[in-house]
Each structure stands twice: as C-alpha cells, then as structure tokens.
Structure 1
Amino acid sequence: MARNRASRRQFLATVLGASAAGLSGCGSDGDATTTPGDAGTETPTDTPTDAPTAATPTDTAEPTDTPTATPTDTPEPTATATPDASSLASWPTVMRNDERWGHHSAAIGPHESVTVDWRTEFDQDAVNATPVLADGTLYIGAGGSGDDDGSFHALNPVTGETKWSKDTTAPVTSAAAVDRGFVYVGTTNGVFYALNTDDGSVFWEWDPGSTEDYTAPAVVDRGVYVGSTSSRFYKFDALDGGLEWDQNTYGAITAPPVYADGTVYATSADHELYAVSASGGLEWTTDLGASANGVAHRDRRLFVTSENNRITQVNVRGSTGWEVSRGDAFAATPAVTENRVFAGTRGGTLFAFDVSDGRELWRVTEPSGGVTAPPVVADGTVYVGARDGTVYAVTADTGDLEWSFATSNNIEEAAPILAGGRVYIGSQDGTLYALSE
C-alpha cells in the first residue's frame, strides 16, 4: 500500500496551527449554539433601522428678512447587505456532525415554494455526493457510475462562484469532512485525500492500490475514520496520513461511520453493526438480520436502518431497545432530533417515528420514487431528495407538504444541507442546486 506523506515543513506548520486552534470535539460543528433543540427554533430577524425622514412640504411663503437655518445633509439610504458567507450555519460533515444527527437547530431553510437561486453544472454527469459547508465555503464532489473521472470543488455558498477545483481520476460520490484547515475526501478508485482548504492542494493522500469506494469520514482529534466497499474500516492520522488501524468486516461499508464518546460505529452489508474503540479494539457487534444501511447516534442511543425493512434502536452496549418494520427497506442513514427519527424507504415513503419507542407518528407518500438519500431537519422542517428527481420539504411535526422542487434526474444518495434560507442539493443531472424562496 502506498502513502504520500506531507513534507516535514507542512507537517510542523499544521501541528502548530492545530495547537493554536484547539482540538475538535465529538459532534462539534463550531456553531454558537451549545445545546441544539428540537425543530422549531426562533428565526433570527434583522434589527430595523430608522429610515431617513423626508421634510414635510409647506405652502410657499413670501420671502422675509428672517435668516434661514443652514441646511443639513440628508443621509442616503443604504442597501441591505447580503449575509456574509462566514455567518452561515455550519455543516462540516455529512448529516451535520460526527454523530450523524442530520438535525441543525440553528440552520434556516425555505418554507414556501422555491426557485433556483443559483446552480453549478460540473463536467461529470452526476452529483451523488452530499455537500458540506464550513467557514463560509461550500465543498462538493462530482461524478457517478457513468463517469470515467471526477472532480472536487470549493464554492462560495452565497453566489455559487468557484473558489478552486481539483480534478480526480475517479468520481467523488461521498461527502467530505472539514477540520482545522483541511478537507478529507475519498474517490471511487481507492484514493483518499487530505486537501488544504485554501487552494485544494494535496497535503497527503492514501492509495491502497486497489479499487474501493470510501464513505464520508468522521474526523475527531487526530483521527480520520472511514469505511469502504472493500469491507474495511480505517483510521488514518489526520496530520500525516499514517494508517493507525483497519478493522475487517465481511461486507461492504457504504454508510458514514459514527463517532461518539470514544467509540466508532459502522454498519456493514454482512448484517452487523460494529462498535470499535478509537484505539482499534472491537468492542461488540449486533446482528441486524440483513444488510445494515446506516446509523445515527443521539443521547447514547443508536438508530440503524437495514435492508429487511426495519429501523432498530440499539443502546451503546449493543442491546436492542426497539425495532419497527414496514413494507420496504430503509435505505439510508436516518435523521434524529431530540424526540423523533426520520427515515425513508426504497418504496418512496418518508416516516417519522417516536425516538423513545418507535411509534409511527406520520408518513409521507408523495414521492413516486424511492427515498434512498438521507433526510435532514432544520427550522421545523424535514428536507429530503427522492429518486423521482424531486426535493421535498415537509413539516417536522405533522408531515404536511410545504413545497417540492423537481430537478432533471434522480436524487439517489445526496442529502441536502440548509443555510441562510437556502437548500443545497446535488442531482444525477450533474448539477448542484441552491434553492430559496
């Protein structure tokens, strides 16, 4: 296996920078809010300013010798500034944090009918990756099964303008993760990169010499945790790319791993949910009865989807709390708020369950194609794409449809993110959309 390490100068500079910035914590995304609440946070409003007051016209009087006051300058009205990109809600990794909540209490999304604010089309035919947003920059990979190559891009989230782009020799189909000046992302031909966020230059890369596709990574302290379709679960050193350990499973890992309280959790096509310590020791496994398709963690409970039509709640010791079954397979990582779990099925239904006992609260059957991409929750609304090429927004409390928007092809794997009143989502039509009211 080949690994290209960073230069010593780069490495020392990075260590010093990391020491100054401090280490990132589990589930942290740099937001000002410290305790995310459930859906329905107050929406910030602009503080009104006093507008210039025009003088009231009066009847023209005959001139007199009375001296007149010296006129004063009337201030010109100023245009409202576009919100600075650096103030937008942060989604530095897929599903917002390393626990994969898919829930952001401070993000603001649209609730009425939407139009395209801006769109970016790439050279590749598909955008299957979920975008991430950190420090005022939007990062997105491009490419799909029909593409011979791929690309990775850093964009301005307000205007869609490209900051930098990097061509890759294979499609980029999974989300990246951003941490302390680096963006970590893999390709479908087995190359995993650490790129500088400033310009996209390669800091280090890992090439195992075999074709495998990586999940979105979890980056915690100096560990980069990532699964692959080669049935391997890796931990790399975030600062020099060294392989610290790899855990073998007996099936492909296609969903992003979860990191919580010193343990990493991953689902596998071998039917198992794996719990591995940060040092690489296997703690336990739980058999889900079918290919496990995604996992999220919140409040010491894991929520796992599987191909046998089930969503299962498992505690952090591996014991099952509850499970529910429906008529179709749950295909992706669920979104979890303080009191609800949201998950879609291959048959085209989005469900809401009670987080404590799995009781069904509502279902949405509008999609005419499978809901195989993860949903996300922000500002009291659930947002999700479907294989009918449509993005849906439904009220988190009731499941009522707020709006829908049709792209030109399927949305198969890409989850949306919300910030500044926009929805960002990729489609297999090769386009990244920014939608707003």
Structure 2
Amino acid sequence: MSDWDRRSVLATGAALSVGSGMGSIAAGRDDSEESATESLPDPSLEPNPDQDEDWASFAGDASHSRSVDAGTEFDADALAAAWSVGSTGPIAVADDTVYTSTADGVAAFDAADGTLVWENTTVDASDPAVVGETVYVTGDEVVALDTSDGSVRWESEFDTDALLGSPTVAYGAVYVGVDGTLYALEADDGSVRWRKESITAPPDPEADEEAEYEFTSYTAAANGVVYALSWGGAVAFEPETGAEVWLAPIPYLGTAAKNTQVRATASTVAVGNSEAERVLVNAQTGDDDILVASESVDWALDDEIYVTGTDHQLEVGAYEHEYYWQVESNANAGHAAIYGETVYVYFTDTDPEGEDAPPYNAALVALNKYDGTEQWVLSNDDVPVGHVRAISDGTIYVDRSGELVALREGAGDEDGNGGGGEDGSDEDGSNEDGDQGDGDSADGGNDGNKGADEGDDATEGSDGTGGGNASDNGGSDGGSNGNGNANDSAENGTSNETDGSAEDDTVPGFTTGAGIVGGALGLEWVRRQADSNADDAAE
C-alpha cells in the first residue's frame, strides 16, 4: 500500500458542498465513479501524508504553489553563503539532501555542506520530486531514481518524441502530460494507472456544440484531487480512477498556456491563460474565476494571497480583494516564494538611473505578505543572491548565474570567511589566501559579492520551442536544454550550458560541487576580498 490510502477518498466523512461547479461533471459516469467523487475536493486529504518536508518537489510540494506554512522568519544580518554548486534547474530538498539537474545529469548534494552525494550522468532530466526513497524527474521520459545512489528504478516509455511536463507525484502515482495526453503512472513501477487523451467541454463562444479538448503538459495535486488544464478549461480528477470531479471552462486560452505550471492550494487553483494573464479558480468548485495580469516567469500563491508580476511591478493580491499592494520594478520580479507571512523575491539588476529608478536593484527582498512592508534587503554587495529556488530547513536556496547558493544564518565567521573542509581550504580552516576560518563548517561562507548580476536571468520561452533567451553569462533561469524543453520558468527548464566558468576556478568558502564555479564570479570575489583585506590593513 502506498503512502496514499486509496480508500480514504471513499471513507472520508467530511463531505463538502462543491457548488454549481459539479453541474459540469460529464454525464454517463457509473455509480462507483459518482461515489468516488461525491466528497471531493477535501483539504484534509494530503497528496503525500507521510512526508514532512518544506520543499520536496521542484515547486514546493505536489501542489506546486511555491509556498511554505512556516512559523519562523530569517534574520538578514545573520544570513551568509554556506556553499555553492553548479545547477541548471530547479531543486527539491528532502532528508537533508538537495536534488537538482546539472550540466552533466541529475545530482544529489548534502544539504549541510554541499558535498556531492551522487550524480547520474546518463539521465537528461529536470524538475525533481521526492517521495519516499525515490526522486522522480522528467525530460524525454519520466525517470524514477533511487535517492541513495541515483540508480534508475524505472523509466517510462512513451511512444512520442514530445517533451514531458513537470511531474506531480501524489496519491501513489506520477501525473504528467505529454503530447496532449494526461497520464497517471504508478509511482512504484511506472505502469499506467489511467490515461486521458481528451476531455469533453462546453462549447467556446465560436462553437455550437461540445468538443473534445486535449491537455496541456502540467498538473498539480491538492485536496484529494489532481488538477490539470485542457484546452477546454481547468479540470479536477479523482486520482485513483481519473473520474472527473469538476470542469471549469476557460475561454480564449493562449498557446502559452501549454507551458505554464498549474498551481493549487486548499482554496485556489492557478492556471495559465496567455503570456500576459493567469486565471484563478475556486479549488473546491472550479467557479469564481479571477483574471490576473501576469508576465512573471514564475509566481506563488497560498490560501490567502497570490504573488505575481509584470515588467513594471511586483503585485500581491488577496482572493477576496481585502488588500492589494505592489512594488515598482524595471524588470520582471519573478520566482517569488511565500514562507510563513513573508514574500521573498529577487529583483534583477536593471542598472537604474535617475528619479525613476525602482526601489530595489539586484537584491533579495523580504516583504510582509499582507501589506508589502519591507522586512529586510540583501544586495549583491552583501552576499551572492539571486532568484529563489527553494526555502527549506532554515536555508534559502538562490540561483546565482547558474550556481545554486545556499544562504543560511551563521554560515560564515565574523569576517565572512568560510570555515575549513572540502571547499579547497586546508583542514585547519585556512584557505589559499591565508584567511583563517572558524572551522565550524566544512563549507563556510563569505560576504563577498559573487559577481555582477549580468546574465543571471533568461526570460520565459513563449511557445516551448526555443527555451528562454540566454543571457550574457548563460544563466539558467528559464533556460533550455537545446531540445526545446522551455517551460514557463527555470523551474520547468533545463540547461546543458554552463555559465562560462573557467575550468579550475575555486572560490574560497564554497564547495565546487558539480564543478561549475563561474570564472567571472571567482575573479569578482577575489577582487572584493583583496579590497576588503587592503581596507583592514589600512585600519
């Protein structure tokens, strides 16, 4: 029996009224399908009830909401870079291990110090999701890897050359869209639990009759159901049988919708509509759709707010319109994450000038989610910061020009120099420059700027055929692995290109991990460190 108790859907006594949305359930279901869906959706039914991790999947958890219900916050004054490794895609964190794609394959790193646990160079895939002792990734196929050594447990065999969407692992299955078809694969062996090639939906304004609509590539799981997007609208399915729970027609879906990740909470489901809009629907009924302007390459939501953005501002709103706030920006402020009552977001380097300069530039910012009150700001002059990849176990993981950097309280000593260990320093904590660390950490930290922010972004691929636009330094945000696997964000993209680093540069205070430490970043770190040492000597 899997973590998901398949009988729990029938046994639950918390029957919820699902409103008028149930009226759109497809006719002709038998009694067993009716009984399996009559009490759904149910927020008490967790996708992976035995899992206790903040960010076990590439976008938080199986809901892909990029939000964590947390009771703690971070002290910016104490945050420092603990370690850095090469990473070309999103990450998952589970059992003190970080899973990600690299330039060579899929790898696992020790969350404490960034040392390499294993790397499978035969698998070209991304978007990790960890459940139990298996990490699931997608590319040309769904691949299930053993979390202990990276060996392949099973691999799907789809009869298509189309690339898959990101995996949703929940209720004992892996849900994924490919080439217009929605699949539910058994998590333990990859066999097909069910598949749906299309959904029957009401007519759009230009049609007279109902039609069959294929699926887009992405799904999410919450409330005992699986949420998907078809060209006829958003759909909620019972996970064991694939029986339809509700259908929410969404007219005028643009082609960009096929590359947009579905996100869900107990109250809300967010789906793509076009390159400039997202649609929010009631997670229980599929009703009460809200159209939100959004050009953000990535966004987040919880049961109270949604966080999105355009090329001009970061926007946060409440579903009941009780409050709304925004922050002006000259660049897309995407990749937000909600952690407790705080929104964490990175504002890119826009080289602002004059009175119209935005309030933040090349900075990681913590904002109160209810009113936008600034909690703190970390700039690249303080620590290497970038778009948020994950927040888990007291660590903020950010993407810094193709490197995954772990920001942690107390990671460095008072001078910002890393401790000793496997980062190229001597056993006593001295690095090659003779700086003495405190030796408490094998990876240490530093307060140096890892380099200019140029090239840490790549924009959203608009049609899934070309990937993100490569930036000057080959940043991996929204990047493509060269075969067209461009999704709506770096969270859904992979890249086989490094950031133009030198082959043997090592930055003191950082583990080399997969061997990608940017030459420009290293030189900048050395320059700043030399300036700092000169200032100390002058004093």
- Does the alignment reach a TM-score above 0.5? yes
1:341 aligns with 2:383: no
Matched residues, number: 316
Distance change (3 Å), C-alpha of 1:231 and 1:384: closer
Q: Give the TM-score, by structure 2 length.
A: 0.48
Q: Paired residue for 1:283?
A: 324
Q: Give the TM-score, by structure 1 length.
A: 0.57
Structure 2: 5+ residue stretches without partners: 1-20, 71-90, 96-130, 136-145, 199-212, 350-361, 417-443, 451-472, 480-490, 499-508, 517-539
C-alpha distance in 1 between matches for 2:474 and 2:324:
38
C-alpha distance in 2 between matches for 1:131 and 1:93:
11
Q: Paired residue for 1:196?
A: 238
Aligned with residue 372 of structure 1, among 459, 477, 490: 477
Aligned with residue 208 of structure 1, among 251, 254, 277: 251
User: Does the Cα contact within 8 Å between 1:29 and 1:97 map onto a contact in 2?
Assistant: no
User: Does the Cα contact within 8 Å between 1:217 and 1:256 map onto a contact in 2?
Assistant: no
Q: Paired residue for 1:136?
A: 172
Identical-residue share of aligned pairs (%): 18
C-alpha distance in 2 between matches for 1:403 and 1:325:
22
Q: Paired residue for 2:513?
A: 401
Letter in 2 for 1:196: E
1:177 aligns with 2:238: no
Task: For residue 138 of structure 1, report the CA deviation from its aligned partner.
Answer: 1.1
C-alpha distance in 2 between matches for 1:370 and 1:318:
29
Letter in 1 for 2:368: N
Letter in 1 for 2:476: V
C-alpha distance in 1 between matches for 2:334 and 2:174:
26
In structure 1, the residue corresponding to 2:39 is in which secondary structure?
helix
C-alpha distance in 1 between matches for 2:24 and 2:394:
44
> Which whole-Å deviations, capped at 9, do the CAs of 1:279-333 have from their partners, x for residues lacking one?
24442112343112211122322222344354333232313311334999956x5
In structure 2, the residue corresponding to 1:207 is in which secondary structure?
coil
C-alpha distance in 1 between matches for 2:493 and 2:261:
18
Q: Which has the higher strand share?
A: 1
Aligned pairs for 1:69-80 (under 5 A) are none
In structure 2, the residue corresponding to 1:336 is in which secondary structure?
strand
User: Does the Cα contact within 8 Å between 2:309 and 2:333 map onto a contact in 1?
Assistant: yes
> Which whole-Å deviations, capped at 9, do the CAs of 1:38-61 have from their partners, x for residues lacking one?
99xxxxxxxxxxxxxxxxxxxxxx
Tell me the C-alpha RMSD between the 2 structures: 4.7
User: Does the Cα contact within 8 Å between 1:348 and 1:371 map onto a contact in 2?
Assistant: yes
1:258 aligns with 2:301: yes
User: Does the Cα contact within 8 Å between 1:285 and 1:318 map onto a contact in 2?
Assistant: yes
Distance change (3 Å), C-alpha of 1:268 and 1:122: farther
Aligned with residue 323 of structure 1, among 364, 374, 378: 378
Q: Paired residue for 1:154?
A: 184
Distance change (3 Å), C-alpha of 1:323 and 1:152: farther
Letter in 2 for 1:314: L
1:304 aligns with 2:345: yes
Q: Which has the higher helix share?
A: 2
Q: Paired residue for 2:408?
A: 354
Higher relative contact order (CA 8 A, sep 6+): 1
Distance change (3 Å), C-alpha of 1:242 and 1:230: farther
Distance change (3 Å), C-alpha of 1:138 and 1:285: same
Aligned with residue 194 of structure 2, among 124, 147, 164: 164
Task: For residue 8 of structure 1, report the CA deviation from its aligned partner.
Answer: 9.0
Q: Paired residue for 2:49?
A: 31
Letter in 2 for 1:31: P
In structure 1, the residue corresponding to 2:197 is in which secondary structure?
strand
In structure 1, the residue corresponding to 2:176 is in which secondary structure?
strand
C-alpha distance in 2 between matches for 1:112 and 1:401:
17
In structure 2, the residue corresponding to 1:243 is in which secondary structure?
coil
Distance change (3 Å), C-alpha of 1:288 and 1:14: farther
Task: For residue 216 of structure 1, report the CA deviation from its aligned partner.
Answer: 3.1
Aligned with residue 496 of structure 2, among 356, 371, 388: 388
Distance change (3 Å), C-alpha of 1:113 and 1:271: farther
Letter in 1 for 2:163: V
Distance change (3 Å), C-alpha of 1:280 and 1:123: farther
Q: Paired residue for 2:126?
A: none
Distance change (3 Å), C-alpha of 1:239 and 1:338: closer
Task: For residue 155 of structure 1, report the CA deviation from its aligned partner.
Answer: 0.6
1:17 aligns with 2:70: no
User: Does the Cα contact within 8 Å between 1:94 and 1:130 map onto a contact in 2?
Assistant: no
Distance change (3 Å), C-alpha of 1:171 and 1:307: farther
Task: For residue 154 of structure 1, report the CA deviation from its aligned partner.
Answer: 0.7
1:243 aligns with 2:288: yes
Letter in 2 for 1:335: A
User: Does the Cα contact within 8 Å between 2:168 and 2:176 map onto a contact in 1?
Assistant: yes
Task: For residue 29 of structure 1, report the CA deviation from its aligned partner.
Answer: 5.2
User: Does the Cα contact within 8 Å between 2:47 and 2:221 map onto a contact in 1?
Assistant: no
C-alpha distance in 1 between matches for 2:288 and 2:176:
25
Letter in 1 for 2:43: L
Q: Paired residue for 1:68?
A: none
C-alpha distance in 1 between matches for 2:227 and 2:183:
12
Letter in 2 for 1:164: W
1:273 aligns with 2:314: yes
User: Does the Cα contact within 8 Å between 2:166 and 2:492 map onto a contact in 1?
Assistant: no
C-alpha distance in 1 between matches for 2:28 and 2:214:
29
In structure 2, the residue corresponding to 1:155 is in which secondary structure?
strand
Give the number of the structure whose alpha-carbon radius of gyration is greater.
1
Distance change (3 Å), C-alpha of 1:355 and 1:113: same
Question: Stretches of 4+ moved more than 6 A in 1?
Answer: 8-12, 98-101, 326-329, 355-360
